[in-house]
Amino acid sequence: MVPLLLVLLLVVLLFGAGFALEVLWWVAAVVLVLWLIGFLARTAGPGGARSRWYRW
């Protein structure tokens, strides 16, 4: 009985980790797309010069 419970626990842990990693990949992809949109759509700075791609 104990080995069966350990195997089921391992399956649940691996399933949870796989789901979490899948979600993190999607979050990373969305952040990358938003960053690229912000990088490409930045506005021109004063005097017609393009602004820096980062904002500090």
For 44, list phi and psi in degrees, rounded to 5: -75, 140
What ranges in 1-56 are assigned the alpha helix state H? Answer: 2-40
Measured in whole angstroms, the distance separating CA 9 from the mean position of its chain's CA atoms is: 27
Query: Model confidence at 43, in pLDDT bands (50, 70, 90)?
Result: low
Band of residue 24 on the pLDDT scale cut at 50, 70, 90: confident
CA–CA dist 14, 17 (Å, integer): 5
pTM of the model: 0.55
Grade residue 7 by pLDDT with cuts at 50, 70 and 90.
confident
Between 45 and 33, where is the model more confident?
A: 33
Local confidence band at 54 (pLDDT 50, 70, 90 cut-offs)? low
What is the rounded CA–CA span in Å between residue 16 and residue 21? 9
Identify the pLDDT of residue 49: 53
